[in-house]
Chains A and B, each alone.
Chain A
Amino acid sequence: MQIVVVLAHPNGDSFNHAVASRVCDTLRAGGHHVDLLDLYALGFRAAMSAEEHTAYHGDTPLVDPMVAEHARLVKAADTLVFVYPTWWSGLPAILKGWLDRVMVPGVAFGFNSKGRVRPALTNVQRLVGISTYGSPRPYVRFVNDNGRRTLARTLRINTGVLTSRVWLGLYSADTATAKDRAAFLDRVEHSMASL
């Protein structure tokens, strides 16, 4: 399978980086082709520019070459894996910006003659989210787990109802022990090995 892993954590020595390494190693050992997009390391710009917004509804909404390259990878992928810390119950700005800038008309969706949105990412058969949460799970549920909803529902509308979803969360990460983290990495490996 063609798999794109999107990683959104600023620190190279973060636990999220350890998770992404384990994801990539496991998937490659399983014979999959993996492209890792480490957004901070790539210097990805989160905010949509005025130029991009103006081009959004035109014929060439992909203005930035890096964004165009990411769009090309997404269009060729069977599986998208997102590895990120949940901040304020949502996606870190750099990952939200990746959706804002890469998932443009012609990539993630199109408009029909009535101006309604139609899905265009039907090549994606599986969406995987792996996130660390500072808060305990009941609190995450209470505030609506907004990052998860953005990927597992909003993005999934554009991949189609047949797209399966896998979600792995490390909750109460602020107080997680080394053992909890190691167990979570093993859980990630187990899940990726069975994709």
Chain B
Amino acid sequence: MKVLVIYAHPVEGSYTSACRDRLLAGLDAAQHDVRLHDLHAEDFRPELSAQERTDQFASPDTKPDIAPHAADLQWCDALVLVYPTWWSGQPAMLKGWIDRVWVHGVAYDLPEGANRIRPRLTNIRRIAAVTTHGSPKWINMAQGEPGKRIVTRSIRLLCSRRTRTSWVALYGIDTADDRSRARFLDRVERFGRSL
């Protein structure tokens, strides 16, 4: 399977970077074809610019700085997002990647006069998130799980009708002991292997 991994954490050596490495090890063991984008290392700009907003319905060919990301999105069978959950959602870096790359002509079409979009990323059959939450699960449920719903609803709706989603999450990392952290890393590797 062709797997696109998008990784967003500012610090190398963080627990999230360990999740990324174990995921890649699992994907490698299963001999998947993997492309990785490390958004901080690439110095990706997360703020959608005024020009990009004005040109939101322009052809993606006119947007060379997102072209490699757009090409990889259209290439992959599976998309895996690896990030820490902050304020119940994706870090700004990852949200900005969605804001800027999932544009008209890449992720969707919006026919003239319509306010419902038509999905374009029907090549993506699996979407997964590998993430950590500082707070326990019940708090995230009380918050309405905005980060999870952006993945399992908003962006999933731009993929195939049959696209499956997976949520691989460690809750309560603020109070988690070393054993549960190690166990979660094993789970992430198993997930990569089984994708």
Identify the A interface with B (CB < 8 A): 9-12, 14, 40, 45-50, 52-54, 87-94, 96-97, 99-101, 103, 111, 114-117, 134-136, 139, 142-144, 146-147, 149-150, 153-155, 157, 172, 174-175
- Whether the pair A94, B92 counts as a contact (CB closer than 8 A) is yes
Task: Say if the beta carbon of B157 comes within 8 Å of chain A.
Answer: yes
Beta-carbon contacts of B7-48 to A below 8 Å, as 1s and 0s?
001111010000000000000000000000000100000111
The answer to whether B98 touches A88, judged by C-beta atoms less than 8 angstroms apart, is: yes
Closest to B48 in A: A10
Contact partners of B9 in chain A: CB under 8 A: 53
A-B contact count (CB 8 A): 166
Q: Chain B residues near A45 (CB, 8 Å)?
A: 47
Contact A154 B143 (CB under 8 A): yes
Is the pair B146, A93 in contact by a Cβ cutoff of 8 Å?
no
Whether A46 lies near B150 (C-beta < 8 A) is no
Query: Which of B49-57, B122-130, B161-169, B182-190 interfaces with chain A?
Result: B49-57
Binary contact readout B124-140 vs A (1 if CB under 8 angstroms, 0 otherwise): 00000000001100010
Interface centre among B52, B54, B144 (most CB of A within 10 A): B144
Q: Does B64 contact A (CB under 8 A)?
A: no
Tell yes or no: B65 within 8 A of A by CB.
Answer: no
Measured CA separation A99–B110 after assembly (Å): 31
Provide the residues of chain B in CB contact with A155, threshold 8 Å.
87
Q: Are B53 and A11 in contact (CB under 8 A)?
A: yes
**Shortest CB distance B47–A (Å):** 5
Question: Does B115 reach chain A (CB closer than 8 Å)?
Answer: yes
Alpha-carbon distance between A90 and B99 when the two chains are bound, in angstroms: 10
Q: A11-B53, A91-B89 are in contact. List 18 more A-B contacts (CB 8 A).
A: A9-B53, A10-B50, A11-B50, A46-B96, A47-B91, A48-B86, A49-B10, A50-B12, A53-B14, A88-B154, A90-B150, A92-B48, A100-B91, A136-B115, A149-B144, A149-B146, A154-B146, A172-B115
A153 to B14, CA, bound (A): 28
Given A11-B53, A89-B154, the answer on whether A175 and B93 have CB atoms closer than 8 Å is no
Interface residues on B, range: 35 or more
B149 CB contact (under 8 Å) in A40, A100, A136, A146: A146
B179 within 8 Å of A (CB atoms): no
A47 to B67 alpha-carbon distance, docked (Å): 21
B143 surroundings in chain A (CB, below 8 A): 149-150, 153-154, 157
Flag if B142 contacts A134 (CB, 8 Å). Answer: no
A96 pairs with B91, CB closer than 8 A: yes
Interface pair A157/B139, CB less than 8 Å apart: yes
